[in-house]
Amino acid sequence: MTKLFWGETPPEKRRFVADPKKGSRHNRGCSVDLTLYDINTGEAVTMPSGYDEFSERAYPGYQGGSGESRRLRDLLRSVMESEGFSVYEYEWWHFDYKDWAHYPVLNAQFYEIAAAP
């Protein structure tokens, strides 16, 4: 998937996708993309940008959008950071676990990982 994303992304937007020559942080099992949901409605809350949106609105420090959307984005970030994750500088929804670069790039199916000793 990393190669596919890289090949389909225009060069000026590649800061939003991993270079397959270096390997994805996700391929190391150390990253997660997520958002918050309203427990009453089961719907994703409104954030300053859409999920996987390739624009400045996706930046964690973007000051546009509503105050409530920024508050919720910042809440997600503070909770994730309190557990050892850091936000990716171009995507409010992407969080990397500490020391992600020390883990090897993997190419395994989930069932293979679950079966590992």
Q: Would you please indicate which residues are annotated as catalytic (active-site) residues?
A: 91
Task: Give the three-class secondary structure for 89.
Answer: coil
- Which amino acid, 93? W
Bridge partners (DSSP) listed for residue 44: 37
User: Can you state the percent helix, strand and coil of the chain, rounding each to 5?
Assistant: 40, 15, 50
Across 7-100, the runs of DSSP E, i.e. the strands, are 31-33, 85-88, 91-97
> What is the rounded end-to-end Cα distance, in angstroms, of the chain?
26
